[in-house]
Structure 1
Amino acid sequence: MTSKNEIPVKIHVETVHRQDGQKEEYAEDFDGRLIEIGETVYLRYEEELPENEHAKVTFKIAGDEEVQLTRKLEHQKLHLTFKPGKRIPSRYQTPYGNIPVEAFAGRMETVLEDDPRAGKLEIDYRLYNGDSLLGDYKIRLQFTA
């Protein structure tokens, strides 16, 4: 049986999104949970959105080789897999159907520390729908127990 360790963490997230010459920046702090199952680390938190909606966000960190991002709302789900230098297909589930997307991680860095339990995650990626570039993104996440 694999051991599971779960602790509360403070999470700081910054994102930058560029599309069609426009730039959007976002920064927020969250109370979250860090769950360790074997060698895999999960970071979970909930975003409060307008109109009393919530988005459940999970980062699954499998070392420096793979990170998965899942963002669930009541009627939407986005699941992206990031591997450095690879374009990975996925889908964006909406009430109107599934939209095929692909994420290309040009840069990815993960740092995990044990004492105190802390870390950071940096991902620069491009999101595509077929041959169409949907945008350039940067995620900067830091957490501490």
Structure 2
Amino acid sequence: MTSQNEIPVKIHVETVHRQDGQKEEYAEDFDGRLIEIGETVYLRYEEELPENEHATVTFKIAGDEEVQLTRKLEHQKLHLTFKPGKRIPSRYQTPYGNIPVATFAGRMETVLEDDPRAGKLEIDYRLYNGDSLLGDYKIRLQFTA
């Protein structure tokens, strides 16, 4: 039987993106939900975008071996999988068609605590389109109930 437990959490996300000598940094706090199904933890929040749009962002954490990131907008969906030391193909779905992408996670760390329910996620990865490097990324996420 699958057990499911959903609780509200505060989520802090920081990202760094480097491409062609340029560096972009982003930091934001969100009210989100933590959902546990068996041994898998899901973190979900809504990201507000310009022009009254929003994106639903979900992190699926399956221990230290795999993390999945899904970001859905009305007509777009990005689904990335991270496994330490592995290149993982994926697709970026847009209104104009699918764009093949791939991730290579050079570093990944997950820490989950039970009392109080909290944790952190750190991923350093490269994003590719075919053989072309789109950029180097760092995700730093912390959450607490």
How high is the TM-score relative to the length of structure 2?
1.00
Question: 1:33, CA displacement in angstroms?
Answer: 0.1
Aligned twin of 1:18: 18
| 3-state SS of 1:14 partner | strand
Gaps of 5+ in 1: none
4+ runs deviating over 4 angstroms: none
Question: 1:104, CA displacement in angstroms?
Answer: 0.3
| 3-state SS of 1:51 partner | coil
Question: 1:11, CA displacement in angstroms?
Answer: 0.1
> Percent identity between the aligned chains?
97
What CA distance in whole angstroms lies between the structure 2 residues aligned with 1:20 and 1:96?
A: 25
Aligned length: 145
Which whole-Å deviations, capped at 9, do the CAs of 1:6-29 have from their partners, x for residues lacking one? 000000000000011110000000
Gaps of 5+ in 2: none
Aligned twin of 2:126: 126
| 3-state SS of 1:80 partner | strand
Question: 1:127, CA displacement in angstroms?
Answer: 0.2
RMSD: 0.3
Question: 1:95, CA displacement in angstroms?
Answer: 0.6
Question: 1:135, CA displacement in angstroms?
Answer: 0.4
Question: 1:134, CA displacement in angstroms?
Answer: 0.3
Which whole-Å deviations, capped at 9, do the CAs of 1:82-135 have from their partners, x for residues lacking one? 000000000000011000000000000000000000000000000000010000
How high is the TM-score relative to the length of structure 1?
1.00
What CA distance in whole angstroms lies between the structure 1 residues aligned with 2:117 and 2:3?
A: 17
Question: 1:72, CA displacement in angstroms?
Answer: 0.2
Which whole-Å deviations, capped at 9, do the CAs of 1:54-84 have from their partners, x for residues lacking one? 0000000000000000000011000000000
What CA distance in whole angstroms lies between the structure 1 residues aligned with 2:18 and 2:77?
A: 21
Question: 1:138, CA displacement in angstroms?
Answer: 0.2
What CA distance in whole angstroms lies between the structure 2 residues aligned with 1:24 and 1:94?
A: 23
